[in-house]
Structure 1
Amino acid sequence: MKKMLAVILMAAMMVSTFSGCSGNGSGETEESENSTTASVESSEEASEETSGETVTYGVLAPLTGDASVYGISTSNGIKMGAEDINENGGVLGKTLELEVMDEKADIAEATNAYNALRSQEVSAIIGDVTSKPAMAVAEIAAEEYADGDGIPVITPTGTTPDITPNGENIFRACYTDPFQGKAMATFAAENLGATKVAVMYNTSDDYSTGIANAFVETAEEKGIEIVANEGYGADDNDFKTQLTKIQALNPDAIMVPDYYNNVALIATQAREIGYDGVMLGADGWDGVLNVLDDANKSVVNNCYFCNHFFINDTDEKVANFVKEYKETYGEDPTAFSALGYDAVCILDEATEKAGSTDPEAVVAAMQELEYDGVTGHITFDENGDPIKDVAILKLEDGAVTLETKLAAE
């Protein structure tokens, strides 16, 4: 396997006002193309205290290829979280190092990378980022754990529901696809008062299909009539046939659970045929304003989507995270960044609670953990899925605002 695009994080870091995993921290990054290790060290004082002892977490992320935008954003959040951990004494007083591997959003690459990390005896693995590689890694990791030779694994962003049921050592920091569908159906019924809703989804995409199915089920339970359930293919770029049929049915809203590139096309064409009503979505909508010209941002007016956090949240932890991320990486964090940050901090807090890196002790601690993170107050259910509030965001006049938060189920 080709070596990853690596990041060596500077050892000497200035103390800032960032309120992170266990306290304050900031740091600059320095990239190296020839290393697979992202080694994160704290200040000289912390380094002396640990006497060279380290704890190593493996990280799996697509840093090159079609999904690299997600992998880089997630790994940036993980690295910043690791910086903060080390600024505050490390993991059990030891320096935290990250061994990061680029798996290119490929299942075979991900499993090979996982095996390589296991041969290096990492204490835990954060990954994978996209759902199919995350599923493949979870299956192997759970089997090893059941055989008495496994480690904790947490995916920051793998949303397919089948990942965590593989084993008790598998966790996730993000919502599942069905959770998002249920949340948006609840919002449509209880907050918007919708009684008739149409659905458009990508039939070739598990993410889009999973959310759509959960939305339809919950919407019907709440008395919403699904007036249309229209599918389209992965390569489609003309959606006017479906939209024209939907508009004739006069729905209160159209649910479009897809990623922002398709969302931008669908919203634009919906407005072109004269539909000016509500449109709904899930976390794949995050970033849709970035792919629309200023003159066209109005096509997503009166649109709502759920997300893992709100970048302009006044919560101190969120505000400080956003500020520090901008200073470190020169851009706004995404939900992927926030979830990556929370994932490494969850592992840190569970390890501190366990008082050991022993896998069984850490897994037990995670199952009982209560963590206040950038993406909310988190506990885990019996499957290792997070229980936390969901943010419903509104798009209007080229801006994103927080409409409401729905309480965790």
Structure 2
Amino acid sequence: MPGPLRLLALALLVSGPLAAPAAEPIKLGEYASLTGKEATFGQSAHRGVVMAVEELNAAGGILGRRLELVAEDDQSKPGEAATIVKKLISRDKVIAVIGEVASSRSLEGAAVCQAARIPMISPASTAPEVTARGDYIFRACFIDPFQGTIMARFAQHTLHAKRVGIMSSITSAESVGLSRYFREQFARDGGTVALEQRYADGDKDFRAQLTAVRAAGVDALFIPGYYVEAALICKQARALGLQIPLFGIDGWESPELVRLGGAAVEGAYFATHFSPEDSAAAVVSFNTRFQKRWGVGSDTLAGLGYDSVMMLADALQRAGTTDAPKLRDALAATKDLVGVTGTITLDAQRNPTKSAVVLQVRGGKFHFIETITP
């Protein structure tokens, strides 16, 4: 037997039949605020994304192929998202993109994905404008018209407020939209928005606005912003003697709210997508696995990051291909997908109809108060 053939025979005896070449992995892109001002949001969503990819790969992958996650940090900075998403699509050749949490950065990435005809799923961007960017853009969370509406009803029915004030960020698309939806619903239900004060993301002194709120004699103050500014507003409100209920949105859900706000955020309320205190089997199982994987408890952003990947995996299985138009169509047809943050059925605008929960800060922790259904 010639030398090379003998070596081949020996290899077969040692290792068995030659294995077929491994299929190329399916590349999935993610852009997130892993550092910077909203880092706790991006890090939490990223943990959920990573865990979903790991679990899918452990179960054999999708379409017989392993998922490969290409994650990039946009540093919570305007302008970074578009650059990163272009790189994920053109250089990394991802078949879909997960991101972002903040609506303003999702709008940047969505424009790039729509132009390239690459599906994008935002875990937690609630501004309606995100999916309005085009038919390749999806989300795993409810949207601001619902969130603003349910918080207006919460203010009236649970807080029994008749006159409220609003503190909104002029630099956040989400905050501007939520203020409008809240104001319209509160007025429809017979309440009065006595005044709306504005600030810019990054501001640190809110005493002038809060002095005006105090003078208006409102029953409660709605703060549709992110956790850094929300914590500072709460601290300065209490320092000025405002003892009215303070309440906000999903952008409050971060350990930093309590670290920065301390006693001032005790008793405050906010709407969000998910409560780890939910006793549903899917939530209990997710919490256990998440704690084991990361050594910390889960939260809304982790659940939404996880569900975003599972939406994509479900669509890939139904499409039977990574071909972008077919994958887009399968995503658009998502129906009755049981996720960690609720059952997901997408409407014609590629938004899910889901319940919201209201949490309250007590003892430095976030505790479930009520579920509000559409």
TM-score > 0.5 by shorter chain:
yes
Could you say if the C-alpha distance between residues 312 and 215 of structure 1 is closer, same or farther in structure 2, counting changes exceeding 3 Å?
same
How many Å apart are 1:179 and its aligned residue?
Answer: 3.1
Question: What whole-Å deviation, never above 9, does each CA across 1:66-99 have from its counterpart, x for those lacking one?
Answer: 4433322222210101111122221123211112
2: CA distance, partners of 1:245 / 1:101? 42
Indicate conservation of the 8 Å contact 2:231/2:258, yes or no: yes
Indicate conservation of the 8 Å contact 1:309/1:335, yes or no: yes
Residue 276 (structure 1) aligned with residue 247 (structure 2):
no
Q: Which residue of 1 aligns with 2:4?
A: none
Could you say if the C-alpha distance between residues 224 and 362 of structure 1 is closer, same or farther in structure 2, counting changes exceeding 3 Å?
same
How many Å apart are 1:171 and its aligned residue?
Answer: 0.3
How many Å apart are 1:101 and its aligned residue?
Answer: 2.5
Q: Which residue of 1 aligns with 2:312?
A: 347
Question: What whole-Å deviation, never above 9, does each CA across 1:281-309 have from its counterpart, x for those lacking one?
Answer: 0012112665447xx74422332110121
1: CA distance, partners of 2:29 / 2:346? 22
What is the 5 A alignment of 1:91-130?
91-106=62-77, 108-119=79-90, 120-130=92-102
Q: Which residue of 1 aligns with 2:162?
A: 195
Indicate conservation of the 8 Å contact 1:49/1:93, yes or no: no
What is the 5 A alignment of 1:186-225?
186-225=153-192
1: CA distance, partners of 2:58 / 2:99? 23
How many Å apart are 1:107 and its aligned residue?
Answer: 5.4
Residue 243 (structure 1) aligned with residue 210 (structure 2):
yes
1: CA distance, partners of 2:228 / 2:35? 19
Q: Which residue of 1 aligns with 2:7?
A: none
Could you say if the C-alpha distance between residues 106 and 265 of structure 1 is closer, same or farther in structure 2, counting changes exceeding 3 Å?
closer
Q: Which residue of 1 aligns with 2:366?
A: 400
Could you say if the C-alpha distance between residues 386 and 184 of structure 1 is closer, same or farther in structure 2, counting changes exceeding 3 Å?
same
Question: What whole-Å deviation, never above 9, does each CA across 1:163-214 have from its counterpart, x for those lacking one?
Answer: 2112111101123334322221122223333222111222333332222222
How many Å apart are 1:403 and its aligned residue?
Answer: 1.1
Question: What whole-Å deviation, never above 9, does each CA across 1:328-362 have from its counterpart, x for those lacking one?
Answer: 22223332222111111100011112222222222
Could you say if the C-alpha distance between residues 323 and 192 of structure 1 is closer, same or farther in structure 2, counting changes exceeding 3 Å?
same
| More divergent stretch after superposition (343-352 vs 88-97) | 88-97
Q: Tell me, what secondary structure is at the counterpart of 1:198?
A: strand
Indicate conservation of the 8 Å contact 1:61/1:127, yes or no: yes
Q: Which residue of 2 aligns with 1:380?
A: 346
Could you say if the C-alpha distance between residues 218 and 82 of structure 1 is closer, same or farther in structure 2, counting changes exceeding 3 Å?
same
TM-score (norm 2): 0.85
2: CA distance, partners of 1:218 / 1:358? 42
Could you say if the C-alpha distance between residues 67 and 248 of structure 1 is closer, same or farther in structure 2, counting changes exceeding 3 Å?
closer
User: Would you say how many aligned residue pairs link Structure 1 and Structure 2?
Assistant: 354
How many Å apart are 1:49 and its aligned residue?
Answer: 10
1: CA distance, partners of 2:75 / 2:69? 18
Match of 2:357 among 391, 398, 405: 391
Q: Which one-letter code corresponds to 2:29 in the other structure?
A: G
Greater helix percent: which structure? 2
2: CA distance, partners of 1:264 / 1:113? 30
Unaligned runs of 5+ in 1: 1-47, 145-149
Indicate conservation of the 8 Å contact 1:200/1:232, yes or no: yes
Indicate conservation of the 8 Å contact 1:297/1:397, yes or no: no
Question: What whole-Å deviation, never above 9, does each CA across 1:135-169 have from its counterpart, x for those lacking one?
Answer: 1221122233xxxxx22111113333212112111
1: CA distance, partners of 2:208 / 2:29? 47
1: CA distance, partners of 2:105 / 2:216? 40
Indicate conservation of the 8 Å contact 2:201/2:229, yes or no: no
Match of 2:43 among 67, 72, 91: 72
Bigger Cα Rg: 2
2: CA distance, partners of 1:301 / 1:103? 32
2: CA distance, partners of 1:49 / 1:265? 59
Q: Which residue of 2 aligns with 1:152?
A: 119
Q: Tell me, what secondary structure is at the counterpart of 2:312?
A: helix
| More divergent stretch after superposition (395-404 vs 374-383) | 395-404
1: CA distance, partners of 2:69 / 2:328? 19
What is the 5 A alignment of 1:256-271?
256-271=223-238
